[in-house]
Structure formats: structure tokens, C-alpha cells
A and B are shown apart, each in its own frame.
Chain A
Amino acid sequence: MTARRLGELALETTDGDAEVVVRWLGRSVARDADVVIARHLDEIIGGAGARAVVFDFTSLEYMNSSTLVPIAKHVRRAHTEARRLVVRFRADVSWQATPFRMLTKIARGEHVVFEPVPGAPV
């Protein structure tokens, strides 16, 4: 497991045989989150190769709207490039449910899967 600290946000990566799980922890509140986070997501996804990547937001305390920019970019890219991406989020937290349901509309398909988790502990 490796962890990347980006201010108040941490990206904890666990490498498995079939998938790479990226747990989003802490708070993502940087105004330039798109710049700060994008490079790390590029590295993680590049290192995953053919394995599925799981973005797990269920333990994230908060993210601002700027954080959605790099996430949306990678969701769309996975959709376009037919790479397997799982987005796991909390359905009972509005700041997660609202944007991820929106992303569901533009990228849900065979390869990109959204997994709302009701009542997951923060």
C-alpha cells in the first residue's frame, strides 16, 4: 500500500492482482484541485495497466467542486478508452451523491461502474 499526501487529502493505493484500489481520505479543498490531483491520478492509472481501478470515496470527509474536475476527466477517459473503472461513493451524503449521480449520466456503461454505498461509515 502506498499513500500520497496532497495537503489535507490523501490518496491511499492498494495494488491487487485484478484491481488497484485508490481510497480517497481526508478533505479535498484546494481551489486548484484539478492541477494538484490530476498528475497523481495519471500516475496511478498509468501504473494500473490492464487492471481495474477503483476510486473509493466512501471514507472521504469532503471534496469541493474543483475536485470533481480531475475525477470527471478520468471517468470520461475510462469511458472513452474502455478501461474498467469503479467509482464507489456514499449515496447518503449529498456532496457525493449529487455529483457522482451526474457523472453516472455521462459515463455509465460496461466499463465504468458507479457503486453507491448507502450509509458507509465516514
Chain B
Amino acid sequence: MTEPWPSILEALPTATCVARVTGEFVALSSAFARLVGRERDELLGSSYWDLSPDGDRQRELNALVSGGGRAYEKEFITASGARVAAVAVGGAVGDDELFITVHERVVAGTSTEAALRRHNELLLDLAKREEIDDGDLDTALRVLTEAATSGIGCDRASVWLYDEGRTLIRCVDLHEVSSASHAAGVELARADFPGYFDALAESRQIVADDAHRHPATREFSAPYLTPLGIGAMLDAPIRFHGRTVGVLCHEHVGPARAWTQDEQSLAASLADLVARAMEARDRRRAEDALERANLELEARVEQRTSELQAARDALWGEMQLARRIQTVLVPPRPLLPGFELAAFTRPAAEVGGDFYDVIEAGHLNWVVIGDVSGHGLPAGLVMMMCQTAIRAVLAANPHVSPAELLTATNRVLRHNVAALGEDRYVTISVLRFSPDGRITHAGMHTDILVHRADAHEVEVFPTDGVFLGLDDDIAPHLPQSDLSLRRDDVMLLFTDGISEARARNGAMLDVTAIADSLRQSADHGARAVVVGLQQMLNDVEVHDDVTAVAVRCVA
């Protein structure tokens, strides 16, 4: 069957060919070779299907085999990559050959059903491509420029974007079919091509069938179109966030070309996809920035947490030190010969300034109760200074009077507190227990309460003097007073944390309430007095350190 075809077809004036089902040309007319823009001999060594767009092959094969004799639309791919639309007719010859003749070449500038279908399939395919939406703009542009050359049927497709000042456009991807390559980086300045930039500014497609003559593209003729052999341009503006940011450029290598409406529509759709890819890039950037910000925030939070932990540890160390000072100053098992003694001290949430001490010096016994103004470590330090000074003075001179003891202690405190740069005062009572039963006291502090066992009454002994730390020399202002306890009498010393505690109705306990508590518990001993006070404090709001010392005469 093959032998007669070459001589018959060669002479035919119509564009006709015979090819095997597999595509190999058996024979063709010169008119067919001209139609597809190739040499006849070149075609004889190639495949018919290479001249058809991928999506059209099976459809055409079906039309030829099962619908023989019926005309159908198709496209041929020319040597320059351009598409030639045509109406063909043909059928199967024998078992494995196809006879095709081009009945009519479609007039340039009009669309074919096949082209429309192919463009739709292309767009559908692109819509599914992950590269368009994953935020990698370079990859997306490569996909889109390849789709543009394939879909439009041109040799070159490129994406150009404005610079910030819109004074030039820069090629960010160019796909060239003939060299199967991608390139980028070329810049075109507005100053060199004002007509083209003005046309772009109008945000309409530039449809230059003859690029050398079109008003928008003729500026490119000598420097660009001629060297590259470009005859037609189809440029679709890329609109992004409401403004034109660039152009998708299709360049036909060869003579002038009439762009079909469908090709123009496809170009616009592809330009929209470029914008979609840019949107994805921005979204990706925003996500990356957010992720970086989150990581930075996490790092900062971690660092800040670490700093806070360090600060907390340091503060905790300070608080621990201050609490230790307070603990160290509390006598562990205070003994007062001839007396039963019970005491308690309870710091507030923060370290306060309460303290008490029981000291034996030179056969004399002393009880000290005091309160440093303020709280925290400075108050704790002043408290320690005060206790140290008192013990040092008593060690040096056990027979010193209470007033002399406070005067000497004040001198040390004034010097050291001033050195600390602090304003601290100490309210304090020092009581010296003499062997004859006399108790001599000095210092300005809360009242001293004494429960008289025989009368079952509480006697109030106001204190007098001045605070320590208030003046350099307080000796003139430190009177001494005496009191004495008889058997079973109970003396109660306390700090203002107790008298300033508030009942639920907001009223402070004051001395009367403390005296009532003393009266109720004194018959049961010093321990009972302290326990009674603690129970009373359980029912009120305590905002300060509280300290109490109860002394019961048992001799």
C-alpha cells in the first residue's frame, strides 16, 4: 500500500499527507510542508504527531479511525512554535495508515474549537499545579512561562515586573522554546521605550500582530525585535492588589501573526495566574515572617523567663537571707530564771523588722523586744545590727542601765543606718530583771501589760523615750521606769503588728483587746497567754510581723 503514495501526493496542490498510526510520515505534499512551515524531506523523517499539540492526538486519531470522512478542527505546530488552525478531513487506510488532507486553513485571528478546548485544559491543569500556590515565585514563573509558550504557541514567553520607582521593568523569567532555556535579568527602561511604558500604564493588553509597526512595540524593532527575529507580541498586564505591577509577554519568532481572541483571553488568564503566584509568594513571606517572629518571641520569652528565674533566685536568696537573719535572732530556748517565759514571732509575708531577745549578762537577765520600721532585707540588717550592738554592749558592761544600753546602741545604729543611706527607726523596750525582783525598763515601744494574779486585773505600763535612730544623742530623752512582778503575775510584751491587726469589721484590736486576751489566759501560764494571742490573731487580718513575749513570775 505504501509504494504509490509518494508520487501521488507530491503532486497534489492541497496540504495532504499519509502517515502511519504511529505517526511516521509515509508521504506528503509540498503544500502540507508549507502549511507547517517545514521542509518536506525533514518531515519525512519525523512523526505526524509531533506536529499536533499533546492533547489533540488521541482525539484526532479517534476522528480519523472511527469517523472517517468527517471534517474536524485541529492545530498544527509550525517550526517556529506557532499554531496553525485548520479544518482537516481524512480516514484510515488499511490497517495502519492514515490519510489526512487539510480542507481549509482557518483564517488568522479566529479561534478554533480545538484551541479553545486546549486552552481550557491548560488552565485547568495549571489551576491544579501546586507550584503556583506554594509561594516559590521563581518555580511558579517557570511553570507559567512554559505553559504560556505551549498554550499560546510561541517561541518566547516572559514575565517582567516594574521596579519600585516604575522607571524600568526587569525580566524575572524568560522561557525560550527553541533553546529550551530559562533566563532572567534583562531590564528595559522607561526612558528608552516610553511608548511601550505608556501603553502598559493603560493596563490593557498590547496585541501587536506586527510588532515592528504596532505603536506600543515599534520602539523595540531595531534593538530587540530584529536581532531576535520576533514578528509579533502579545503582552498581558499583570494586575496585583489593584495596580499593574508587570507584564506577561508572548513573543512570536517569525513573521507577523494575528493573535486570536482565544489567545488573548488565555494570555490574560495566564497573567492572572502570575498575580496568583505573587499572592502566594507574599503569603509565604508573611507566614515565614510570622514564624520567624514567633521563633524570636519564643526565644525572647525563653530568655526573659531565664532572666526572671535568675532574678527570682537572686530575690529568693535575698529573702532567704533576710529570713535567716530573723530566724537567727530568735533565741532557740529562752530561759529566764525565776520566770516561765513563752514567746512567738511570726513574720508577715515579707520579711519584717520584729525581734525579741533574752540575754543573761553578769547575773542579770534582760528581755528585749523591738520593731524596725519598714521591711525587707534592709530592715533585717538593721535588726541584726541592733541585736548585735545590744549584746556587745552588755558583754562589755553587764551592769549597764537600760537607758545607757539604749543610748550606746543608738550611737552604733545611727552611724550604720546613715551609712546604709536608709531612714530606719527602731521602737524598742529593754527590760532588766534584777535579783531583787525589780524590772527596770527603758525605750519607746508599745505599752507593757501586766496581769495581776491576785486582782485578776491587767495593769498598763506606758513606755517612754524616743525611737532608736532618730537622733544622735537620745540619752536626755530616755527615762527609766520600774515595775515588779509577784508570784503568778504575767507580763506581756508585744509589737504593734498585734495591736494593729484588724477584726472582720475593720476595727483594730488595740490594747484593750490584747488585755482581755491576757486576762482570760494568764491563770494558765505564759504558754497559755501566747497561745491565746495566736488564736485571737487567727480570726483577724494581720498585715505586719507579730511578736509577743509572755513572762510569768514563778519564784
Contact = CB atoms under 8 A, between A and B. Distances in A.
A71 to B, nearest CB: 11
A105 B477 contact: yes
B462 A72 contact: no
A105 B466 contact: yes
B543 A66 contact: no
B373 interface: yes
B508 interface: yes
Interface in B453-505: 462-463, 465-467, 470-471, 474, 476-477, 496, 500
A29 B500 contact: yes
A72 B470 contact: yes
Contacts of B425: 68-69, 72
A29 B373 contact: no
Given A62-B508, A65-B496, A102 B543 contact: no
Contact of B373 (A69, A94, A98): A69
Contacts of A106: 466, 470-471, 474, 477
B374 interface: yes
B508 A34 contact: no
Nearest to A67: B373
What is the predominant secondary structure among interface residues of chain B facing chain A?
loop
Interface string A88-122: 00000010001100100110000000000000000
A64 B502 CA distance: 12
Contacts of B444: 98-99, 102
Contacts of B462: 94, 98
A118 B348 CA distance: 35
A65 B425 CA distance: 10
Contact of A34 (B350, B371, B374, B466): B374
A94 B496 CA distance: 13
A75 to B, nearest CB: 10
Contacts of B348: 31
Given A65-B427, A72-B470, A102-B466, A31 B477 contact: no
Most buried by B among A31, A68, A73, A99: A31
B470 A32 contact: no
A34 B511 contact: no
B544 A34 contact: no
A65 B471 CA distance: 17
B428 to A, nearest CB: 12
Contacts of A98: 444, 462-463
A15 to B, nearest CB: 28
A31 B372 CA distance: 12
20 contacts: A29-B543, A31-B375, A32-B374, A34-B423, A64-B500, A65-B371, A65-B427, A68-B373, A69-B423, A69-B424, A69-B425, A72-B467, A76-B470, A76-B471, A94-B511, A98-B462, A98-B463, A102-B444, A105-B477, A106-B471
Interface of A: 29, 31-32, 34, 62, 64-66, 68-69, 72-73, 76, 94, 98-99, 102, 105-106
